Each structure stands twice: as structure tokens, then as C-alpha cells.
């Protein structure tokens, strides 16, 4: 009976931890950036790959690629998303983000840290495509 007293809380903790899910698997895929300031003439897409690759690209009204694809790497753990600039790319997206919501087709995060202190507290909202 005493062993049961110790086993039940341990099983509960393990069960709770397994329900959390794998954040990276939730993130993998193509997401559309929701802009709250620009007109909806072009769309910016974030494409997360298994591993650590992240590509950003912009598509015009006729589904043509506009400009170059920008490459980053990323890591995600719990509610922290880190995006790293790849050599030769524009690093304005780089930084540490606090993940507020990553569920279903919604992803919301706020930039907490940036190497250059640019765009700190910038809110990012994406929807899955």
C-alpha cells in the first residue's frame, strides 16, 4: 500500500508531461504572417522544417515569388522559440520569442530578446497554410 502512495504521483507527473506534446512537430509546416499594418497585397510565409531550418519568402498577388528566400535556423523548447540568422541573411528576425499560443492553426509569439535590441516586444501572429 505504501508503494502505491509513491507510484500514483509519479505516474500522474509522467502522464501530464506526455500530454504537453512536441512543440517542434506542431510548428513544422508553412505559416502565413498576419500583418496588422500593411495592406494585403503580398503575403509573407514562414516555412519551418524538421530539424532546425526556417525559410521566409514573400508571394505577390499572382502567386509569384517576390525577392529572395531568407534562411534562418531555429530551436523551440516549451514556450521559448529561438531564431538564429544564417550567414549572409538579413538578421532582423533573429532573437528569442516567448510562445504565447501554438495550437492547431494558430501561432502567436512575442520577441523578448534581440542581439541588437531591435524590434523587441514585436508580436508575431501566424496562421497555418
The full set of domain ranges for the chain reads 22-128
Per-residue pLDDT tens over the stretch 44-84: 999 999 999 999 999 998 999 999 999 999 999 989 999 99
Asked: is 22-128 a CATH 3.40.50.12280 domain? The reply is: no
Which residues, including other chains, have CB under 8 Å from residue 82's CB and lie 6 or more apart?
Answer: 74, 75, 76, 95, 96, 97
Q: Rounded to two decimals, what is the model's pTM?
A: 0.77
Widest CA span of the chain, in angstroms? 69
Match 514556450 to its residue by C-alpha cell.
79
CA nearest to 23, candidates 93, 125, 89, 107: 107
Give the pLDDT confidence of 89-116 residue by residue, as tens digits. Answer: 555 788 999 999 999 999 999 999 876 6
Amino acid at each position: 500500500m505504501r508503494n502505491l502512495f509513491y507510484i500514483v504521483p509519479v505516474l500522474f507527473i509522467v502522464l501530464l508531461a506526455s500530454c504537453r506534446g512536441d512543440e517542434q512537430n506542431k510548428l513544422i509546416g508553412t505559416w502565413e504572417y498576419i500583418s496588422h499594418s500593411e495592406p494585403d497585397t503580398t503575403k509573407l510565409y514562414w516555412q519551418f522544417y524538421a530539424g532546425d531550418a526556417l525559410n521566409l519568402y514573400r508571394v505577390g498577388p499572382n502567386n509569384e515569388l517576390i525577392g529572395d528566400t531568407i534562411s534562418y535556423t531555429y530551436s523551440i523548447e516549451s514556450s521559448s522559440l529561438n531564431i538564429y540568422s544564417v550567414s549572409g541573411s538579413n538578421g532582423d528576425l533573429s532573437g528569442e520569442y516567448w510562445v504565447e499560443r501554438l495550437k492547431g492553426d494558430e501561432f502567436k509569439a512575442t520577441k523578448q530578446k534581440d542581439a541588437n535590441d531591435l524590434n523587441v516586444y514585436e508580436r508575431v501572429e501566424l496562421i497555418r497554410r
